Structure formats: C-alpha cells, structure tokens
Amino acid sequence: MAIPQLFTPLALRGLTLKNRIVVAPMCQYAAEGGFVTDWHYQHHCRFAIGGAGLAFVEATAVTPAGRITRGCSGLWEDGQIAGLARIATMYKSHGCAAGIQIGHAGRRASCALPWDGGAPLGGGPDDGAWPTVGPSPLAERDNGPVPHELSPTEIAAHVTAFADAARRALEAGFDTIEIHGAHGYLLHSFISPIANRRSDDFGGSLANRMRFALLVSHAVRALWPADQPVFYRCSAVDTIDGGLTLDDTIALARALKQIGIDVIDCSSGGINGPATLAQHKVGFGYQVPYAEAIRNQARIKTMAVGLITEPALAEQILAQGQADLIALARELLADPNWPYRAALQLGLDNPHGVLPRNYALTLARRAAILADS
C-alpha cells in the first residue's frame, strides 16, 4: 500500500525528518527569568512520544526586552542553554528533530500573562513593565505603549543578539532553528508599512523594510551548520488596508531563499491589535493558500499552519503540492498523539509504529485481538 504523504520522510539539507508532522512553536508563559522550567520539558515530552517528525520550542527571546511576557523563554545568556539542551536531547532520543524559534517581540513586548488578560503592562511602578522598541514611535494599539525607535546602531546590536542566541541554540543541540518574522513582532514590524514609517535605509521601499530581517537571516544562516536547515516564519499578509501583501511576502521569500533559508513557515496577521487571528476570516486550513503561493512562486519549501486539524486535510495539502510540511499547534495540545490518529485514519502500514515501542507493541497486539474478535 502506498505510504500516505504525511508519513514520507523529508530531507532538509543533511537533516531527514521521519514524517511531515511538525509541532508549531507555542509559548507556554512558564519560564522564570527567561529560563525554561520542568513544565516545558513535560509539555515537549508529550509531542516527542506522540510521534511528530519535528518540533519547535516556543518563541525564545534574544534579549530580555524581547519577551512578550515575563513568562517567556530566552537565550540571551549562556546559562539558558542547559534547560533547552535537555529538551533538544529528549526530542532526538525519540527520533524527532528538535527545533527552536528565536525572536524579539518588539513593540508587542511587555505584556501581562495571557491568564492575566495579556494586555500591555501599564508601566506603573510595580507592574513590571519594560520599555518596548520598534521601527517607529507608533503604538500597536490605542493607548498602548509607544515603542522607542531603534537607531541603525541599535538595529545592528539586535542582529548580533539574534546571532548570539542562534549560536546558543546550536550549542543546546537543536537540529534546526526558526527565525520569528511574524505576528507583529520586531522583524515583522519593520517589514510592514503599518508599523514602519522610517525614512532611512530601514524604511520606505520594500527592499529597505526587509533589510533588518534579511540581515538577521544572513547572520543566523552564516553560523548555522551548512548541513542543517533554517526556517523563517512570516506573516504572509497583514489583512488590513495599507499592510503587507502576499506579493510583498513572495518577494521576501525569494530574498530569503537567496540567503539560504530552507523553509518558509506561512502564518499571517498580528501587526495591529491583541490577537493574531482576530482580523481574519478563519476556517480549516485558512493559511494554506499563502503556503501554496509562496511555494509555487518563490520556489522554496513551505510549511502550512493554522486550523489543520483533520489528517485527511493534512494529507490533501501535501498531495496537492500546497506545502511540504504540516504544522499543528492547538490540535496537538488537545491530542499529542495526533500522528497516531493520522496513521490510523490514513491507513499507514503498522500505524502503531508511530508511537514508541513501549506503546506500539501492546497496541498492535490489542488491534490483532480486536480484529479476531
């Protein structure tokens, strides 16, 4: 029987993924001082055991000010490597490639924890707010904090911070790294004309607005081993008038390909307002058309994400050549064994083998008993 596409391996440079199922980065807001905790380890064990081919650790800040909340993880100092190394080693012991997303929240930093409302901290003496940064002194929302406009020298320092964090991620043992260029955070805020009103080399034309993201991508690619892939997550469209268009993002993807970025992870939205998804009409697979257009027009591998919950849809996206990888976030929280569910539903030969042998053997025996009964 033909192997479902979802369970075919994918070679990315020297890294071969055992299947096309990817755990999307998901902030857990459980870090302490930027250090990951046991919660992160437990959270990631669920996906490793569940059979995904690649998993990304959440948006990990390259500077303390780059955290969305005080509960976000960081890689701005060497001491933060060990906790992440434990997660990377655990993933690899299950044959799941280990990835980490690095980013800077820019003007969307300094927010309350989601279960405390998630709004920008007020800047009062005791609420722990910190100054935010961005391309221009424009608040992300009414009455939100006005970010400090980064100078060219400060932009260069942030490029270095991304590179330093990437070096630490490599030291932690991650197979791959994703640059967070989406959701209104620092790199996206420079690319989007909604947030960037600069008139220097980092503003105005699309080429200028992309410059910061391309410098970061170049710096990360330069230090990441040639036989290991680098991902870039984009917000393909801003979904508001005057914002980033799909054609802009296709141009960005072409430039990223030139630099040696291997996969574009195709998300969207987030430039204004609290929610990434709020400005979209969302439905199953709503961002797949972006992954398809970028794949076909920039001729680069893409990862589709966003309300892909059913194995049949994931399989169809791959079979129709709309994307090379399928990332899931919330559905994996609901069911970390989703790869097993997909294997059963798509008719994979020995679906139980998606799980570790400690589970697989006994589940295969149970299936045989049930088949005979």
Ligand X SMILES: Cc1cc2nc3c(=O)[nH]c(=O)nc-3n(C[C@H](O)[C@H](O)[C@H](O)COP(=O)(O)O)c2cc1C
Q: Which residues are catalytic?
A: 185
Angle between helices 81-93 and 38-50 (to 10 degrees): 20
Residue 290: Cβ within 10 Å count: 26
Nearer to ligand X, 132 or 352 (CB): 132
Which residue in 228, 267, 268, 302 binds ligand X (CB under 6 A)? 267
Among positions 110-149, residues that touch ligand X (CB under 6 A) are: none
Judged by CB under 6 A, which stretch of 19-27, 222-230, 311-319, 343-351 contacts ligand X? 19-27
Q: Which helix (H) or strand (E) holds 241?
A: none
Among positions 341-370, residues that touch ligand X (CB under 6 A) are: none
Which residue in 77, 149, 331, 335 binds ligand X (CB under 6 A)? 331
Which residue in 6, 12, 216, 305 binds ligand X (CB under 6 A)? 305
Q: Which helix (H) or strand (E) holds 365?
A: helix 357-372
Q: Residue 360 Cβ, how far from ligand X at the closest point, in Å?
A: 26
Q: 319 — phi, psi (to 5°)?
A: -65, -30
Nearer to ligand X, 306 or 351 (CB): 306
Instruction: Please name which of 216, 220, 217, 272 lies closest in space to residue 244, comparing C-alpha atoms.
Output: 272
CA angle 33–277–99, rounded 5-degree value:
50
32, two tokens:
């302490």
Judged by CB under 6 A, which stretch of 34-42, 142-150, 311-319, 329-337 contacts ligand X? 329-337
Q: Residue 105 Cβ, how far from ligand X at the closest point, in Å?
A: 10
Q: Residue 60 Cβ, how far from ligand X at the closest point, in Å?
A: 8
Residues with Cβ within 8 Å of 133's Cβ and at least 6 positions away in sequence, in order, are 65, 106, 107, 109, 147, 148, 149, 150, 154, 186
Q: Which helix (H) or strand (E) holds 344?
A: helix 338-346
Residue 362, amino acid = T
Which residue in 6, 21, 26, 237 binds ligand X (CB under 6 A)? 26
58 binds ligand X (CB under 6 A): yes
Which residue in 12, 182, 234, 348 binds ligand X (CB under 6 A)? 182
Residues that bind ligand X (CB under 6 A): 24-27, 58-59, 101, 180, 182-183, 233, 267, 305-307, 328-331
